[in-house]
């Protein structure tokens, strides 16, 4: 797909007014950003929720009913993510994070591909959790299972209280992690953003739209990178109807070269 008309070029030609070093940016990503690393999306073509029922795999009730089935699905996803590599979209966002002083990446993705591409932890919020964290469903014990899985154990038990361990992700019907929401809110409260980039998400959840809209300064830009239209598209100052791995490297390079040009 092509860059939607020459509007983006026009948009970018105004960037010389903003020194990237001083610009505030918010980047919001979703499953589409990892799609080109071979990780299925949820609602897209071949997305998980096209063939699987989230009520049976991604709710506290599903876990209570059949924790073994839920673990089977999460182990398979962990395996797939471990075998995947960050793509140019992850790399471009990491580059942006390294060049811009004030940037926050809010990702709905539970994979570790942003981190592996080099996005620093302190500039990233995983708002739906981390698939490689295993936490107790009863006490506050948790561990990282980044390197290995307890493959031989159907449903792991907490070494502290013997409760059932579960993946450290947010399921339907659960609250978002309070500390992570606070980090996003703190960033928004600290000042408006010159650029808000939303890439690879259907923006299904109200808080994603809310953060994107609230973050943008009156004269700021809201750039959506997504081959498809979403509920956020109507609010975007620029719609880039391309894949993230194609559009983001170009977009970021243009940001950075403008900065160097100053």
Residues interacting with ligand OAD, by CB under 6 A?
A: 30-32, 35-36, 41-44, 47, 58, 108, 128, 170, 199-202, 204, 225-228, 230, 243-244
Closest CA to 24 of 183, 190, 227, 140: 190
Helix (H) or strand (E) holding 207: helix 206-215
- CB closer to ligand OAD, 19 vs 180: 180
Query: What's the farthest any 2 CA atoms get from each other in the chain?
Result: 60
Q: Which tokens in the block code for residue 95?
A: 């580059």
Q: Minimum CB separation from ligand OAD for residue 17, in Å?
A: 28
Residues carrying an active site annotation: 128
Reference 7, options 181, 223, 194; nearest CA is: 223
Identity of the residue, 108 or 187, whose beta carbon is nearer to ligand OAD in the bound complex: 108
State how far the Cα of 14 lies from the Cα of 149, in Å rounded to an integer: 49
DSSP designation for 256? H
User: Of 212, 186, 19, 215, which is closest to residue 100 (Cα–Cα)?
Assistant: 19
CB of 244 to ligand OAD, least distance (A): 4
Q: Which is nearer to ligand OAD, 194 or 226 (CB)?
A: 226
Nearer to ligand OAD, 76 or 219 (CB): 76
Which residue lies nearest ligand OAD, judged by its C-beta? 32
Rounded least distance, CB 54 to ligand OAD, Å: 6
Instruction: Tell whether the torsion through CA atoms of 79, 77, 33 and 52 is positive or negative.
Output: positive
3-class DSSP state for residue 134? strand
Helix (H, G, I), strand (E, B) or coil at 151: coil
- Residue 8 or residue 18: which is nearer to ligand OAD going by CB? 8
Cβ nearer to ligand OAD, comparing 143 with 241: 241
Smallest separation, CB 256 to ligand OAD (Å): 21
- Which one-letter DSSP state was computed for residue 16? G
**Closest distance between ligand OAD and the C-beta of residue 94, in Å?**
16
- Asked if 252 and 92 touch (Cβ cutoff 8 Å), the reply is yes
CB of 223 to ligand OAD, least distance (A): 12
Q: Give the angle 77-242-32 at the CA atoms, nearest 5°.
A: 15
């Amino acid at each position: 797909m092509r860059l939607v008309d020459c509007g983006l070029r026009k948009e970018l030609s105004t960037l010389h007014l903003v020194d990237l070093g001083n610009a505030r940016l918010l980047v919001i990503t979703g499953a589409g950003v990892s799609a080109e690393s071979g990780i299925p999306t949820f609602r897209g073509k071949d997305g998980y929720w096209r063939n699987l029922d989230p009520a049976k795999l991604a709710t506290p009730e599903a876990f209570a009913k059949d924790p073994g089935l839920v673990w089977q699905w999460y182990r398979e996803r962990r395996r797939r993510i471990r075998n995947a590599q960050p793509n140019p979209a992850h790399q471009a966002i990491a580059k942006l994070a390294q060049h811009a002083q004030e940037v926050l990446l809010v990702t709905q993705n539970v994979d570790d591909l942003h981190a592996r591409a080099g996005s620093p932890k302190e500039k990233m919020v995983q708002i739906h959790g981390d698939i490689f964290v295993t936490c107790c469903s009863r006490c506050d014990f948790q561990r990282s299972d980044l390197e290995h899985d307890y493959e031989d154990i159907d449903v792991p038990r907490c070494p502290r209280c013997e409760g059932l361990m579960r993946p450290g992700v947010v399921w339907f019907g659960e609250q978002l992690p309070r500390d992570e929401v606070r980090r996003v809110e703190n960033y928004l409260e600290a000042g408006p953003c010159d650029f808000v980039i939303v890439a690879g998400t259907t923006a299904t959840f109200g808080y994603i739209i809310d953060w994107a809209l609230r973050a943008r300064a009156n004269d700021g830009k809201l750039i959506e990178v997504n081959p498809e239209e979403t509920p956020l598209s109507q609010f975007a100052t620029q719609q880039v109807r391309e894949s993230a791995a194609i559009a983001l490297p170009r977009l970021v390079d243009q940001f950075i070269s403008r900065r160097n040009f100053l």
